[in-house]
Structure 1
Amino acid sequence: MTTDQAPALESLLSVRGISKAFGHIQALTDVSLDIAPGEVLALLGDNGAGKSTLIKILSGLYATDSGEIRMRGVPQRFQSPADAKAAGIATVYQDLALVDTRDVAANLFLGREYTRGPFIDVKRNVAESRRVLEQLKLGHLPASGVPVGVMSGGQRQAVAVARTVVSGAELIIMDEPTAALGVSESAKVMALAHELRDSGCAVIIISHNLQQVWDFADRFAVLHLGRLAGVRRRSESTVEEIVQLIVYGAAGA
């Protein structure tokens, strides 16, 4: 069975019958999807397929017209990104939203710094940053003293992802994380997704580049013209089959 979703009892996120229109434009129609803890799901589709709309719904930026979202079986109604974060969903967008003039520790704990009395406990923030970086096998990144603005694109992406771990997210959405990266740095970012998976997080990677994510995703969900064209396990599918779903939709399966 190659179209299987994650079993309901194991699902971290369960989406059922999501639809969204903008005026006369139907962006999503009856989309249902599951993702389990410890899984990397690649969300694929051509331009206009509905990837961004779905992710913005999961991130609390858009409200649904119909359908249901559950986290660990609990119905959710996101009115804002804060609601999605409170439910355990964190999204790393392409702009990363880092403060370039601050170091890694300051970025990881921005807005939730450890304090001692009225003062920021810089030593503890740096120590906790190093712990998170080591957990994600990013110990080569300096926790303090180097502004993130001088770091490479892959390093900055890693910092943005590490920030989601600090926030306690259970589901981490990475929006085109390798779009501006070379081959080597892209591979490092994909390896970071595996570190998140191995720590028990669920990861959704939005990508237009199937070749880059093929070796790293456990399953592929393909959107076509706002509908779910299919879900395939990598072990039970081929690149050619996924490409057919992207180009032709369910009719190409």
Structure 2
Amino acid sequence: MHYAVVVSTEPIDTAVAHPARRYNYWLGGKDNFAADRASADAIAAAWPSAPIAARENRRFLQRTVRYLAGEVGIRQFLDIGTGLPTADNTHEVAQSIAPQTRVVYVDNDPMVMVHARALLTSAPEGRTAYLEADLRDPGRILAHPELRSTLDLSQPVGLMLVAVLHFIHGEGAGVPIVRELLEALPSGSYLVASNATKDPSPPQVVELYDRMLASGQTDIWPRDRAEFSALFDGLELVDPGVVLVNDWRSENEPPPRPTGAEVAVYGAVGKLP
């Protein structure tokens, strides 16, 4: 039987930029508003390759899902901060390999919920659910009855935190959230994460970005390699470890490939022992 569950409660505020809609704009989508486009353009003024980074981050998600579903055999995914529907979403990639895969999507943008039915096209053997919740409240996500009815938390889960942790501001602020989520998952589960970074950026870009972050013109908190790597403490890193997302098992991606400075997003996959 095909299952599709959508839970949405909040109205859409079109006057306030939202990361999911801004990301949609960078990916060439139409599901965004003037505030989202203005925010995206302001960030791109400091970081002109932001749309390239968004596309590479999306490809990283797709490659990691193929790895987990195909090579590892993961049949359950918890995708937090999934954003608006695009091509090759987590469940589409996973179910193309294993139709029985179950996926729970989580996002805090009501517009994502409005569009959820366009995304929820699960294979008949599988199941998808979509929850409106915030990464900052992992306990609420984990306790949600739809998550509990969709995923079996006694079996390994692929936890997808792709391009969402950089909205958690503060040095080390992502670690307790990741730990709480991982503590609810069994051995053999995997963490997939990516986060913007300034590490490969030229000094003038770093200076401009720091001013924008301090003035509130951007909500993206970049993490250096050490802070990002700390998210995977206690996990077994999958080769090639912590790298820029464009370098994670991307040998089969078509040329031309972007530079590290153009992408400036760290990514990694780790296994829960």
Question: Is the strand fraction higher in 1 or 2?
Answer: 1
Query: Which is bigger in relative contact order (C-alpha 8 A, separation at least 6)?
Result: 1
TM-score by length of 2: 0.33
TM-score by length of 1: 0.35
Question: Is the helix fraction higher in 1 or 2?
Answer: 2
